[in-house]
């Protein structure tokens, strides 16, 4: 049987049995430790984005994209595994906090190795940082296996699967360089297969509301990091005596874009937890956010590259500089549409605006001011969505709240249902 955990950590409760928390626990929100964990992980995101920006500015687009994708996988996967584990087994006792500290330390080691991995293809430091984080998770799963007999098989599968793959990452460091990409791909497949294999035994009691909030908070922090990166680039440009007027279009377009991306993500996130009720949907949601997080961070890097390009620095053409900004924006909009809208069904005209907006953003690559045009397009997407949603709500109200007038209205929101994991 699952049990809710007492929230405060008192000096006397230095150790608690790691029993499963209730998947329908009331008032379940992110903890202060989880927020601190996110902020430390954003350090790694910032380092990866900065190194990515440097590679793009030097004209190493293919090399930079590949390296960024590899480094970001390590950041995202370690963050995601901790998040889902904590949703089911957060005891907030001393051992739990100390093991979380170990994972934070691993994240900082990973951050320190991000530049070497991206620029020099030296994955030594980043691998050890990643392994530190993952071995801490092995210990957490072993604790859960000891205290939760109902899901002991699942917990042990996680512990064994993670440990075996970590051995693979360490062995990879000793292999010839020309096998690096192949072995990376094999180990990535092994990593993402572990949850699907482990959860087949018995589903862990992750909390849909809590998971949706955790993903939303990390998206928020990564978007904020994009603003920080862009601000630093503008500051550097002004220090080089670049006129503010030359940067005005970039500043306005960047702010409009990031604000619209924030609005877009959270416009439909309030009901996401209603769909996180099966293992399939949980995996789709969790894995899909790799591109959401990576593209959000890449938007800041792309904006910084365009600032440098405007001031005469870097080695990119006008179209290439524009593309490193518009493509991450298009990826973000596409993934949010797929995860927030497509998974819930297309019920309104507003739901199909996103593919059109994506095409328009990609076309903005060839516009005279691509960053400003992208900002205007994403802002228009939000404005049009609001207008169509208001009209749909008005039609639903006129038909007694059933939304049955033409089939286009949004059905009345059903009351929240407790999360019931599938039996297989």
Distance of alpha carbon 362 from alpha carbon 328, whole angstroms: 10
CB within 8 Å of 33: residues ≥ 6 apart: 92, 97, 100
16-32 b/e with 16+ CB inside 10 Å = b? bebbbbbbbbeebebbe
Long-range contacts of 314-320 (CB under 8 A, 24+ apart): 314/56, 314/57, 314/58, 314/59, 315/57, 315/58, 315/59, 316/56, 316/57, 316/59, 316/61, 319/365, 319/366, 320/59, 320/61
What pLDDT does 350 receive?
Answer: 56
What pLDDT does 84 receive?
Answer: 93
CA distances to 85, 284, 384 from 260, rounded to whole Å, are 31, 24, 12
What pLDDT does 81 receive?
Answer: 92
Distance of alpha carbon 378 from alpha carbon 389, whole angstroms: 16
Helices (H) and strands (E) in the chain, counts: 12, 0
Spell out the per-residue pLDDT of the chain, length 424, in tens.
445 454 444 454 788 888 888 877 888 888 999 999 999 998 889 899 889 988 888 888 888 899 999 999 999 999 999 999 999 999 888 999 999 999 999 999 999 998 888 888 889 999 999 999 999 999 999 999 999 999 999 999 999 999 999 999 999 999 998 888 999 999 999 999 999 899 887 888 888 888 889 999 999 999 988 888 778 777 777 776 666 666 788 888 988 999 999 999 988 665 666 667 777 777 888 899 999 999 999 999 998 888 888 877 777 888 999 999 999 999 999 999 888 765 444 455 556 788 889 999 999 999 989 999 999 999 999 998 888 877 777 777 777 655 444 433 333 333 333 343 333 3
Q: What are phi and psi of 192, to 5 degrees?
A: -75, -15
What pLDDT does 12 receive?
Answer: 42
Query: What 8-state DSSP symbol labels residue 149?
Result: G
What pLDDT does 231 receive?
Answer: 80
What pLDDT does 412 receive?
Answer: 35
What pLDDT does 187 receive?
Answer: 96
Beta carbons within 10 angstroms of residue 217's beta carbon: 16
Distance of alpha carbon 361 from alpha carbon 355, whole angstroms: 10
End-to-end CA distance of the chain: 18
Least Cα distance to 188 among 142, 285, 123, 281 occurs for 123
Whether 110 contacts 44, CB under 8 Å:
yes
Query: What 8-state DSSP symbol labels residue 339?
Result: I
Whether 67 contacts 117, CB under 8 Å:
yes
Whether 289 contacts 339, CB under 8 Å:
yes
Whether 265 contacts 336, CB under 8 Å:
yes
What pLDDT does 242 receive?
Answer: 67
């Amino acid at each position: 049987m699952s049990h809710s955990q007492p929230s405060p950590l008192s000096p006397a409760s230095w150790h608690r049995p790691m029993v499963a928390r209730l998947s329908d626990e009331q008032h379940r929100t992110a903890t202060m430790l989880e927020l601190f964990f996110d902020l430390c992980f954003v350090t790694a995101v910032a380092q990866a984005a900065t190194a990515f920006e440097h590679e793009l500015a030097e004209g190493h687009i293919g090399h930079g994209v590949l390296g960024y994708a590899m480094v970001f996988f390590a950041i995202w996967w370690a963050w995601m595994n901790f998040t889902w584990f904590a949703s089911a087994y957060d005891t907030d006792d001393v051992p739990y906090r100390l093991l979380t500290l170990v994972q934070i330390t691993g994240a900082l080691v990973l951050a320190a190795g991000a530049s070497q991995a991206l620029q020099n293809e030296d994955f030594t430091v980043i691998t050890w940082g990643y392994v530190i984080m993952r071995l801490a998770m092995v210990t957490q799963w072993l604790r859960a296996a000891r205290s939760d007999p109902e899901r002991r098989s699942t917990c042990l599968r996680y512990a064994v699967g993670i440990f075996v793959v970590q051995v693979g990452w360490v062995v990879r460091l000793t292999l010839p360089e020309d096998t690096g990409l192949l072995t990376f791909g094999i180990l990535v497949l092994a990593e993402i297969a572990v949850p699907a294999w482990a959860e087949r035994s018995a589903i862990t009691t992750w909390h849909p509301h809590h998971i949706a909030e955790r993903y939303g908070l990390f998206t928020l922090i990564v978007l904020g990091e994009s603003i920080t990166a862009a601000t630093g680039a503008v500051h550097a440009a002004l220090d080089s005596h670049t006129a503010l007027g030359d940067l005005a279009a970039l500043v306005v377009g960047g702010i409009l874009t990031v604000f619209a991306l924030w609005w877009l993500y959270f416009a439909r996130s309030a009901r996401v937890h209603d769909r996180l009720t099966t293992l399939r949907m949980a995996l789709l949601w969790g894995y899909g956010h790799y591109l959401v997080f990576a593209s959000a961070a890449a938007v800041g890097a792309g904006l910084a590259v365009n600032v440098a390009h405007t001031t005469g620095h870097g080695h990119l053409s006008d179209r290439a500089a524009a593309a490193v900004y518009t493509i991450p924006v298009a990826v973000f909009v596409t993934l949010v549409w797929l995860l927030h809208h497509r998974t819930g069904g297309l019920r309104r005209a507003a739901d199909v605006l996103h593919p059109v907006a994506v095409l328009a953003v990609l076309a903005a690559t060839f516009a005279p001011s691509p960053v400003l045009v992208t900002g205007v397009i994403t802002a228009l997407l939000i404005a049009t969505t609001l207008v169509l949603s208001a009209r749909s709500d008005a039609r639903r109200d006129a038909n007694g709240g059933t939304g049955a007038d033409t089939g286009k209205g949004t059905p009345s929101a059903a009351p929240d249902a407790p999360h019931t994991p599938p039996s297989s």
